[in-house]
Structure 1
Amino acid sequence: MRLEIVTTTLDETLLAAQAGADRVELVSGITEGALTPTWGSVKGVHDHAPIPAYCMIRPHAHGFVYSENDVAEMIADIQNQRGLADHFVLGCLTPEKTIDEAVLIQLVEACGDTPIVFHKAFDQTKDQKAALQTLARYPQIQRVLSNYQAVDLVQEIDRVQEMMNFAASLGIKTTFAGGINQESIQILKTIGAEDVHISSAARIDGLAKNQLDAERIQNFRRLCD
C-alpha cells in the first residue's frame, strides 16, 4: 500500500521521504485544511526531493464554491507550477453539491498533461456515483481523495469497497483519506486498497499545527507494507 504524507516545506518533504513516504501532498495553510503551496516550496521540492509531490490548488478555506476571481487565481497558480508539480490536487463544487463542470473544464485545460487528483471536496457531493461519472469524462483526473463519506469504516466497509470498485471501473483510483489511522489501514488492506493519505496523524500529538513526526510516519510505513 502506498503512503502519501501531507507536507508544507522542502524540509518536511525530505523528512517524510526518509521516514518512508512514497509521495507527498504539498500544501500551505495546513491548519486551514490545506491551501495552495508557495511557488518557492514547489520549486524546492521539485529540485531536491526524491519522491513525487502532488500540489494542492486551493485559494482559500471558505468551501469549494469558487468565484470567477478565485478561478483566475487557481489557473494562474497552475500555470506557475506546471512542469514542477507531479500531479495537481484540486476540486470545485456548485452550491447544490455537485461537481462544477464549468469551473472544472477551465482547471483541467490549465493543467495540460499534468495528471489531476480530485480532492476531498468529493466527499461533500450529494451523489458520489454521479460525481465519479462526471469526473470520468476527464482523462487527466486519475484519482479521487476520499473515504466515501464513511463514519464507521468497520461497519461500512462493504459499501466503501463497492464505491472503490465502482470508481476503478471508471478508470479512477482511490486514495483513502480522512481519519486514517492504524486500525483503518488494516481494514483497508483487506479490500485491496492501494493508497492512503495521512495529514495530521503524521504530526506530533496528531495536531496539524505541529511538526511532522518521523516515528509516526515510520509506523504508518510498517502498517502499509
Structure 2
Amino acid sequence: MSRPELPTTVEICVGDVPSALVAEAAGADRVELCADLGQGGTTPSLGAVAVTLRLLRRVGVRVMVRPRGGDFRVSAAEEQVMLADIEAIRGLPNPHDLALGVVVGAVDERGGLDLPVLGRLVEAAGPMPVTIHKAFDEIEDQFGALEEIISLGADAVLTSGAAPTALTGAERLAALRRQAAGRLRVIAGGGIRAHNVREVLARTGASEVHLRAPVDRDGREATDGDQVRQVVAAVRAG
C-alpha cells in the first residue's frame, strides 16, 4: 500500500509537562498528555494540563481522561469523574490556541464498546476532538465497533489492529482505515520506532502515528528527544 499524500502526524505520548516540551522541541506534531504511564496512562492533573497549554507554542494536545489503571470498564461514579474532568479541561485557558482534545475509552461487561458512556463523554467534549484509545483493541468485532465510534461523533481511534504492534497488525489497520474512508482518523500505535515507522506507514496507509519515546531519568520515565527526532526525520524522509 502506498504512502498517503497528506503530511504524516507524529503524536508522542508523554507523562509530564517537561516531556511535552521535549517532544515539541524535537519536532512532534502532537502530544498525548497522561499521568501514570506505568498503568497505561491516566488523567493528568488540571495543573499539568494548564501549564502544558501555557508553555507549548505549536503542537496539538490530547489529554487522557481515564480515572484509573486496570480494565476499561467505567462505573457510574467513574463516569461522573470523567465528565467533570472533560468539563474542567474545556474551561482551561488556551493562550496559544493549541488544538486541544481528549482521549477516552470504555468497554461493557460483554466486551463491546460501552456506547451509552462513550456517547455522554463525546457530548461533554463539545467542539473538542475525541480520540478513542486502545481499549478499542479489546473489541472482538473491530469493524462493527468502528461504525459505532463514527456514529458517536468521535474524531479518531488509536489502534494497533488488535495486534501486539502496529506492524504485525498492519493488514487490519489498513482495512480499518479503508472502512473509515475519511469519516474517522485511524491512528497507528504500538511498537513504532524510527527503524520501522516508514514500513508501518507504507503497509497501513495511515497518516498518523502514536508512540512513546521513553528514557530513564533519575529513576523515572521521561521522553527522549533524540528518539522523537529520529522518528520525525524518518517520517519526513519518506
The match for 1:101 is 115
Is the Cα contact below 8 Å between 2:165 and 2:190 reproduced in 1? no
Is the Cα contact below 8 Å between 1:8 and 1:41 reproduced in 2? no
Evaluate the alpha carbon distance shift between residue 123 and residue 155 of structure 1 in structure 2; reply closer, same or farther with a 3 A threshold: closer
The match for 2:95 is none
Aligned residues between the structures = 220
Counterparts of residues 43-82 of structure 1 (less than 5 Å): 43-50=50-57, 51-82=59-90
The match for 1:27 is 34
- 1:16-65 per-position Cα deviation (integer Å, ceiling 9, x unaligned): 10011101000101111000011001101112202111000000112111
- Using the TM superposition, give the Cα deviation of residue 188 of structure 1 relative to its aligned residue in structure 2, in angstroms: 2.0
The match for 2:137 is 123
Q: Secondary structure at 2:209's aligned position in 1? A: strand
The match for 1:39 is 46
Sequence identity of aligned pairs in percent?
A: 30
Q: Aligned partners of 1:110 and 1:91: how far apart in 2?
A: 14
Q: Aligned partners of 1:89 and 1:152: how far apart in 2?
A: 20
Alignment partner of 1:165 is 2:173: no
Evaluate the alpha carbon distance shift between residue 204 and residue 166 of structure 1 in structure 2; reply closer, same or farther with a 3 A threshold: same
Q: Secondary structure at 1:182's aligned position in 2? A: coil
The match for 1:135 is 149
Q: Aligned partners of 2:14 and 2:119: how far apart in 1?
A: 28
- Of residues 184-193 and 69-78 in structure 1, the stretch that sits farther from structure 2 once superposed is 184-193
Q: Aligned partners of 2:88 and 2:168: how far apart in 1?
A: 44
Q: Which runs of 5+ in 1 are unaligned?
A: none
- Using the TM superposition, give the Cα deviation of residue 213 of structure 1 relative to its aligned residue in structure 2, in angstroms: 1.1
The match for 2:209 is 196
The match for 2:193 is 181
Evaluate the alpha carbon distance shift between residue 17 and residue 155 of structure 1 in structure 2; reply closer, same or farther with a 3 A threshold: closer
- Using the TM superposition, give the Cα deviation of residue 113 of structure 1 relative to its aligned residue in structure 2, in angstroms: 1.4
Q: TM-score, normalised by structure 2?
A: 0.86
- Give 1:6's match in structure 2, choosing from 7, 13, 16: 13
Is the Cα contact below 8 Å between 1:31 and 1:209 reproduced in 2? no
Q: Aligned partners of 2:172 and 2:73: how far apart in 1?
A: 28
- Residue identity opposite 1:222 in structure 2: A
Is the Cα contact below 8 Å between 2:162 and 2:169 reproduced in 1? no
- Give 1:210's match in structure 2, choosing from 221, 226, 234: 221
Q: Aligned partners of 1:159 and 1:72: how far apart in 2?
A: 34
- Using the TM superposition, give the Cα deviation of residue 151 of structure 1 relative to its aligned residue in structure 2, in angstroms: 4.1
Q: Which runs of 5+ in 2 are unaligned?
A: 1-7, 93-98
- Using the TM superposition, give the Cα deviation of residue 210 of structure 1 relative to its aligned residue in structure 2, in angstroms: 2.1
Please report the RMSD computed on the Cα atoms of aligned residues, expressed in angstroms: 2.0
